[in-house]
Chain A
């Protein structure tokens, strides 16, 4: 028996046709995860109700959306990525390559990102941008601070979870990473409290997917705005998001795709370093109390 066999339609065309339904499938699994539903409920309750108490500076509450949407989102995305690992002998010999499946998984981050945007509006409703709780930052910079503390972590957390799920086998890796990031943020925040005008301290504080920009200066309600540019910090965070996606896509990539991914990773890494330096050296060059 002879038949005409061709390699089939170009990989990119078929991959595009499958990517949308596959992404929709993964997104549905992500949204229906009870941990994510709990995280969204908590984030929205805290921000739309203003946390239920008087707040004199925003950093008492704006860490919560990052924890719930970013941190919990990271863990859910990690579980989602790992969930198909047992079926890899079957899924691994389908025409949809692992990078394509990874790309579909990465699209689930749109959901927590949208929740992050919603949370931002809730936050601005509870704490209008003209309030004194934002410290010395200009109104646009105040928005930038909130975007960097609420919206971008909501996007980046799940992306980090996918990257972790693609490369790490340890089941509790996402939770461990969450604790590490949480501990690091606490550590560098304490360090900044001691050295508020120090550039190295600012670099360390911003060398993180989440950073505080203000702190309550004294018991009278004065707010201290720390040095650093919230605009460049958003750039640094987005570069971290891109790195997470590229690292995730690298798993299973081969040939020209692998080469291109590694090249993009190198470029993004260089851009991230530049943005981190700009974030630390831009904005206020010393702590400003209001």
Chain B
């Protein structure tokens, strides 16, 4: 008997002289865990480690109690894994159905009737049931993204690793995909990396923030959002006291910083505010203020 979970102990990964991950300790269980972080933070490296696509340079990874460094156990993990990479290429000339069917075959679904039914199911889940016969090369970026997600959902895997699953996907489909993932997460471990904080806020109970290869935050989404309470305020101009300010659609400026001015008009913090505050260091006396456009 082993716990259906993922654990990482002092995990690090380097590429030549570049350190992508360092000293990562995590325990992941069923449910949706969001992975946030700036570009180059190590999110994709972490997901590739979990997906057995990459071995760690140091530390130990266990997925469902199995060691990915042992070939037979790695195969055991892969039988229970769905993985959507950040950039999935597709073979020339394949239709959506043919590609997902091919991956289903590689996932050892060798019975044609059952396999085809499963392929139709995941295409339907990702809103591609009408596009199964369409060549992937002729699809839009968002549709290709959904094909990539569809193959990851094959067999309703106990471990689902998704690298930016909603990038390029239209809002309606994003809502549908959130429902699909939430349903799957009742029994499966779902880890998704994204730059869309609204996806994390809507879907995840837990969020991990990576920065320069290290875990900066690991805990409930509500707790991270709560850390920004009283630190977000609106003003008619960028506030020098804020760590970051941007002009909103109303023409007013949203300021995020460790200390609001006295009498400032406070706003309800979002996960994005909390995330930005965390990455800006959250120091009481920020040295610089940077204006960005929203």
Chain A nearest CB from B126 CB (Å) reads: 15
**Does chain A have a CB within 8 A of B59?**
no
Contact A8 B75 (CB under 8 A): yes
Interchain pairs with CB closer than 8 A, number: 104
By beta carbon, the residue of chain B nearest A90 is B88
B53 touching A87 by the CB < 8 A rule?
no
Binds A, one of B103-111, B231-239, B246-254: B103-111
Q: How many residues of A contact B (CB 8 A)?
A: 34
Check: B219 CB closer than 8 A to any chain A CB: no
With the chains together, A275 CA to B163 CA distance in Å? 53
B residues 28-66 near A (Cβ < 8 Å) are 29-30, 51-53, 64-66
For B88, the chain A residues whose CB sits under 8 A away are: 87, 89-90
B4 within 8 A of A: yes
Give B contacts to A, CB under 8 Å.
1-4, 29-30, 51-53, 64-66, 71-73, 75-76, 78-81, 83-85, 87-92, 99, 102-103, 105-108, 110, 112, 148, 151, 158, 187
Cα of A5 to Cα of B103 in the assembled complex, Å = 23
Known: A7-B73, A254-B71. A89 touches B87 (CB 8 A): yes
Q: For the complex, is A219 an interface residue (Cβ under 8 Å from B)?
A: no
Query: Which A15-41 residues sit within 8 Å CB-CB of chain B?
Result: 17-18, 20-22, 25
Cβ contact within 8 Å between A95 and B79? yes
B27 CB, nearest partner CB in chain A, Å: 13
How many angstroms from the CA of A11 to the CA of B91 in the assembled complex?
Answer: 26
Q: Is the CB of A97 within 8 A of B75?
A: yes
A17-B108, A94-B106 are contacts. A4–B53 as well, Cβ < 8 Å? no
Known: A94-B103, A95-B106, A96-B108. A5 touches B2 (CB 8 A): yes
| A contact set with B: CB distance below 8 Å | 1-8, 11, 14, 17-18, 20-22, 25, 83-97, 101, 254-255
Determine whether the beta carbon of B4 is less than 8 Å from that of A3.
Answer: yes
Q: Could you say which of B52, B80, B85, B92 contacts A83, with CB atoms under 8 Å apart?
A: B92
CA distance in complex: A88, B89 (Å): 8
A8 partner residues in chain B, CB cutoff 8 A: 75-76, 79
Contact B91 A93 (CB under 8 A): no
Contact of A1 among B29, B73, B83, B102 (CB under 8 A): B29
Contacts of A14 in B (CB 8 A): 75, 108
Residues of A within 8 Å of B53, CB to CB, are 89, 92-93
- In whole angstroms, what is the CA distance A95 to B75 when docked? 5
Point out the residues of chain A lying under 8 angstroms from B89, CB to CB.
85-89
Q: Which of B64, B83, B91, B102 contacts A5 (CB 8 A)?
A: B64
